[in-house]
Amino acid sequence: MSTFAKPENALKRAEELINVGQKQDALQALHDLITSKRYRAWQKTLEKIMFKYIELCVDMRKGRYAKDGLIQYRIVCQQVNVNSLEEVIKHFMQLSTEKAELARNQAQALEEALDVEDLEADKRPEDLMLSYVSGEKGKDRSDRELVTPWFKFLWETYRTVLEILRNNSKLENLYAMTAHRAFQFCKQYKRTTEFRRLCEIIRNHLSNLNKYKDQRDRPDLTAPESLQLYLDTRFEQLKIATELELWQEAFRSVEDIHGLMCMVKKTPKASLMVVYYAKLTEIFWISGSHLYHAYAWLKLFLLQKNFNKNLSQKDLQTIASSVVLAALSVPPYDHARGASHLELENEKERNMRMSNLINFNLDPKPESREVLSRSALLLELVSKGVMSCVLPEVKDLYHLLEHEFLPMDLSLKVQPLLNKISKIGGKLASASSVPEVQLSKYGLALEKLATLRLLQQASQVYQTMTIESLSQMIPFFDFSVVEKISVDAVKHKFLTMKVDHMKGAVSFSILDLESDTLRNHLTALAASLNKARSMIYPPLNKASKIRDTLPGLAEVVEKEHKKLLARKAIIEQRKEEQERQLLEKEREEELKRLKLQKNTEEAEQKRLAIEFEKRKIQRIQNEIEEREREEAKALLMEKFSKNKKKPIIEGDKLTKQALMELALNEQLREKQEMEKKLQKLSKQMDYLERAKREEAAPLIEAAYQQRLVEEQLLHEREQQLEVELSRQRHESDLQQKNRLARVMENKRIFEERVMSSRHSEFERMRQEREEHIRQVRQARSQERLAKRKMIFYLKSEEERLNRLREEEEARKREEAERRRKEEAERQAKLDEIAEKQRQREQELEEKERLRRQQILVGEPAVRSSETPTPAKPQVEAVPVAPAAAAASAAPAAGKYVPRHLRGKVPSSGQAPPPVRRGAGGGW
């Protein structure tokens, strides 16, 4: 690592290295200075160094060096002068963009320069060979060699800058500007993959920002300026995603915007919300969510009507017509009806997400939840005054499809209106944020709706119709398309119809117990009978009569209601338990069935494999036998086809081996006959050849003599011609020599000049080579010297550490040995004390035993007062007194003796002599 006393020295050194063409060394010198801990105080020179460092990184496409340098420079100037970091980053992005544009222009110029008539005139042989071998076009190769590396570097630049600025509250504007430029880069060059990665990067930055809220310089999203910057970035992301037709990424961008709005709990400006709902209309239309598409159009209409003061009446009518047509495009039946539980759960989650995006809050309680439905949407359109702003054609279409009952004339009245509506549309002049409105895109959905309404109304009038009549009533589609539409409607319980192609009829009178007309027929009958009874027998003073007869009706109803609820809960639990048991049983049966089926399939596969192998072996054997039989027949026909008499062989015994033996015998016989014929023919040919040679000998000799004479004449003529040609050639050479003799001096001068220039060039190249070799040797010697010093330093350091480690281990061993010896000595002393204590206890036990023996034999006990005192310390004599006192004689019979005098003996008794304990002299 290079060290400099001042940063200016590093800058001068880098410029010197750049001037001699050593840019890598200059970059390394500046990198060492920037990453050094000596220069952590910001100064103006560091900014100049960073500019030069960034220029070198861009020239050499060193993205990692640039990232390391910018991170270190951020540490230096984060708290002192953050504007300097902003200037450096802007310079970095500007240089990268200019280099990428320059490379693209060069590739384009190269492509234009290659468009010439004669390709061989400007190309070298190696270029032609490369083009023939590679087979690439010039533009592809130039893009790969010139444009692609710089575009990769520019993309890496954007990622680096975003990573450095992701949690810096002081450079939020620069972060937003970088994100916008990266979006424009993806849009300009159609980089869809990079756009997805960029969106994911920005999304992760925001999630990390919310996750780690204790960072020092993190942006505050509650501030209006920061929130506006983040929203602008997300809206730009949404626009680019829709322009690139990345609809999934656009939906995720909308969710990001909604999450950001929910996070700060603040609604953005109306201009941004117009863009938000305008993009939502496109996304929902592409995804096929017509209901949410219509709600998004409604939100957009309300925003334009309330906040756009420049909105013209024509544009307002167009937007309102789009809202109504979008609502009419929603299918008139519920897709969730008849769906499975899993589909309903997925649809519920999907609806919840899309409802949140259009700010339509759904209550999770089913009894109080406002349902997003087509009917509710149409009622909302009427209540919010949308129908008063629409075009007359759209209003007429709405009334025809929703309120009129015209089973025969519906299509005739709807079709002209659809034709007029399909011609309306275009760019709105007074609502620039709204996308181009084309009402023709709703034509297919409206035709389907008209078909469904016609079928619904026809089912209420007719029970049976012919297919031909129904096709004439619906001019929008062929009957096959009508049949598909009706199948979907029947599936979702919107229609009840049946198509009989054999009879060519359509029946609408198919009702089952699940239909709406028969589902509540008992309830309707009971209500009608109850109403008729009340009309025939009207009740008198109903409230008072009930109050008099049933005073505890409320309590009874409440109890019955609670019982019913409890019974319902028990039934639900039992049903759930039964369903769970059924599911478990079905699952076990399914597992058993699958296992049995698997075992059966495996056994069947094994059996089939064995049979296949057997059949294969049998087939191979049959083929071999058949082939041998065919070969035998062919051999028989070949060998005996010319003979009139063929060998007699039975068909069953016709084998190749038998035929081979017959063929060998026949060949042997034919060979013998041929040898006899050849001997006879050779003898005949010898006689004939000898006669021919005897007759031809004189004729050959005469022809030879005539050929000698002719060749002698030819030789003489050719020799004379050669002499004449040689003479003429010599004369012309002499003339050429005389003509060129006058330029010999110039030739010698030119030769000397060329030789001298080549010699000087050789000497120059030799000196340069020697100088280069000298520099390389010097550099290698310095490198070896530095390496040796480093190895010596490392080796000495390792030896010092090993020596310290050995000394520490020796000290630890000595300490452990000392502790072990002390522990052994202490244990020995404790053992000695324990041994003395044990001997003392034995002595006392022995005395007690002797005293008891004396008491048993009737000898008088010695009083403790008369016991001689041993010449030992008082500590050892303490246990003897209690023992002597305990050895006193028993009192006389029948006389009470106090407890403290029971151990005393008469004074006349004498104690036994003391007993020596051992050789030590202790008592």
Kindly report, residue by residue over 38-83, the tens digit of the pLDDT: 767 777 778 888 888 888 888 888 888 888 888 888 888 877 777 8
Q: State the amino acid at position 616 in one-letter form.
A: K
* CB of 405 closer than 8 Å to CB of 453: no
User: Looking at residue 653, what DSSP letter applies?
Assistant: T
434: nearest Cα among 219, 278, 589: 278
Quick count: other Cβ atoms within 10 Å of Cβ 631? 13
Max mean pLDDT among 36-50, 281-295, 554-568, 751-765 falls in 751-765
Tell me what pLDDT residue 305 has: 81
* CB of 217 closer than 8 Å to CB of 223: no
* CB of 481 closer than 8 Å to CB of 442: no
Quick count: other Cβ atoms within 10 Å of Cβ 14? 24
Q: What is the pLDDT of residues 497-527, one digit of tens each?
A: 888 888 888 888 654 444 555 556 677 788 8
* CB of 85 closer than 8 Å to CB of 77: yes
Going 692 to 695 to 698 to 700, the CA torsion angle's sign is: negative
**Residue 858 zone, left/alpha/beta (φ > 0; ψ -120 to 50; rest):** left
The number of residues in the chain equals 923
CA distance 916 to 839: 12
* pLDDT greater than 60 at residue 435: yes
292: nearest Cα among 354, 242, 238, 246: 354
Tell me what pLDDT residue 5 has: 56
- Min mean pLDDT across 329-338, 795-804, 875-884, 900-909 is at 875-884
* pLDDT greater than 90 at residue 412: no
* CB of 483 closer than 8 Å to CB of 501: no
As given in the structure block, the two tokens for residue 5 are 């006393």
* CB of 486 closer than 8 Å to CB of 493: no
* CB of 867 closer than 8 Å to CB of 880: yes
H and E: helices and strands count for the chain: 31, 5
Give the residue with greater pLDDT, 169 vs 241.
241
The set of residues, in sequence order, having a beta carbon less than 8 Å from that of 119 and lying 6+ positions away, is 128
CA distance 69 to 51: 11
* pLDDT greater than 70 at residue 128: no
Tell me what pLDDT residue 430 has: 67
b/e map 338-373, b = 16+ CB within 10 Å: eeeeeeeeeeeeebeebbebbeeeeeeeeeeeeebe
**Across 3-11, average pLDDT:** 70
User: Looking at residue 429, what DSSP letter applies?
Assistant: S
Q: State the amino acid at position 25 in one-letter form.
A: D
* CB of 439 closer than 8 Å to CB of 325: yes
Helix 23-35 with 44-60: angle, nearest 10 deg: 140
Q: State the amino acid at position 638 in one-letter form.
A: E
* pLDDT greater than 90 at residue 762: yes
CA distance 195 to 184: 10
Tell me what pLDDT residue 883 has: 38
Phi, psi of 922 (to 5 degrees): -85, 150
3-state secondary structure 332-395: CCCCCCCCCHHHHHHHHHHHHHHHHHCCCCCCCCHHHCCCCCHHHHHHHHHHCCCCCCCCHHHH
* CB of 370 closer than 8 Å to CB of 362: yes
Calculate the alpha carbon distances from 865 to 858, 868, 880, 923 in Å.
20, 8, 12, 17
Q: Find the Cα–Cα–Cα–Cα dihedral 768, 772, 774, 775, rounded to 10°.
A: 140
Calculate the alpha carbon distances from 922 to 256, 862, 869, 872, 887 in Å.
100, 21, 13, 8, 21
- Min mean pLDDT across 40-54, 81-95, 297-311, 908-922 is at 908-922
CA distance 7 to 29: 11
The set of residues, in sequence order, having a beta carbon less than 8 Å from that of 433 and lying 6+ positions away, is 271, 274, 275, 278
Share of the chain above pLDDT 70, in %: 76
Our measurement of the distance from residue 521's CA atom to the centroid of its chain's CA atoms, rounded to an integer in Å, reads: 57
3-state secondary structure 664-680: HHHHHHHHHHHHHHHHH
The pLDDT-based confidence of 823 (bands split at 50, 70, 90) is very high
CA distance 246 to 283: 10
* pLDDT greater than 50 at residue 870: no
Tell me what pLDDT residue 879 has: 40
Going 570 to 576 to 577 to 582, the CA torsion angle's sign is: positive
**pTM: predicted TM-score of the whole model, two decimal places:** 0.50
CA distance 262 to 299: 18
CA distance 320 to 439: 11
Helix 224-243 with 270-287: angle, nearest 10 deg: 30
Tell me what pLDDT residue 194 has: 86
* pLDDT greater than 90 at residue 134: no
Our measurement of the distance from residue 644's CA atom to the centroid of its chain's CA atoms, rounded to an integer in Å, reads: 84
- What 3-state class would DSSP assign to 499? strand
196: nearest Cα among 275, 118, 249: 249
* Kind plus residue range of the DSSP H or E element containing 398: helix 392-402
The pLDDT-based confidence of 896 (bands split at 50, 70, 90) is low
The C-alpha R_g of the chain, in whole angstroms, comes to: 59
Pairing relationship of beta strands 464-466 and 437-438 according to DSSP bridges: unpaired
Tell me what pLDDT residue 356 has: 66
Tell me what pLDDT residue 780 has: 94
* Kind plus residue range of the DSSP H or E element containing 153: helix 148-165
The pLDDT-based confidence of 138 (bands split at 50, 70, 90) is very low
Mean pLDDT estimate for the chain: 77
The set of residues, in sequence order, having a beta carbon less than 8 Å from that of 311 and lying 6+ positions away, is 304, 305, 430, 431
* pLDDT greater than 60 at residue 742: yes
* Kind plus residue range of the DSSP H or E element containing 834: helix 744-857
CA distance 438 to 448: 18
Give the residue with greater pLDDT, 359 vs 888.
359
* Terminal alpha carbon distance of the chain: 89
Share of the chain above pLDDT 90, in %: 13
301: nearest Cα among 321, 285, 284, 286: 321
**Across 227-254, average pLDDT:** 83
Q: What is the largest CA-CA distance in the chain?
A: 193
Q: What is the pLDDT of residues 317-327, one digit of tens each?
A: 888 888 888 88
* CB of 88 closer than 8 Å to CB of 65: no
3-state secondary structure 491-505: HCCCCCCEEECCCCE
**Across 180-205, average pLDDT:** 85
**Across 774-785, average pLDDT:** 94
Tell me what pLDDT residue 725 has: 92
- Min mean pLDDT across 63-77, 350-364, 406-420, 796-810 is at 350-364
Tell me what pLDDT residue 405 has: 84
* pLDDT greater than 90 at residue 769: yes
CA distance 506 to 771: 102
Q: What is the pLDDT of residues 146-170, one digit of tens each?
A: 677 888 888 888 888 888 888 777 7
Helix 7-19 with 44-60: angle, nearest 10 deg: 30
- Min mean pLDDT across 98-102, 144-148, 188-192, 798-802 is at 144-148
- What 3-state class would DSSP assign to 918? coil
Max mean pLDDT among 253-257, 276-280, 545-549, 753-757 falls in 753-757
The set of residues, in sequence order, having a beta carbon less than 8 Å from that of 418 and lying 6+ positions away, is 397, 443, 446, 447
Quick count: other Cβ atoms within 10 Å of Cβ 654? 14
182: nearest Cα among 217, 155, 143, 206: 155
The set of residues, in sequence order, having a beta carbon less than 8 Å from that of 604 and lying 6+ positions away, is none
Tell me what pLDDT residue 753 has: 92
Going 458 to 459 to 463 to 467, the CA torsion angle's sign is: positive
* pLDDT greater than 70 at residue 550: no
Our measurement of the distance from residue 224's CA atom to the centroid of its chain's CA atoms, rounded to an integer in Å, reads: 36
* pLDDT greater than 90 at residue 793: yes
Tell me what pLDDT residue 390 has: 84
Q: Find the Cα–Cα–Cα–Cα dihedral 362, 368, 372, 376, rounded to 10°.
A: -140
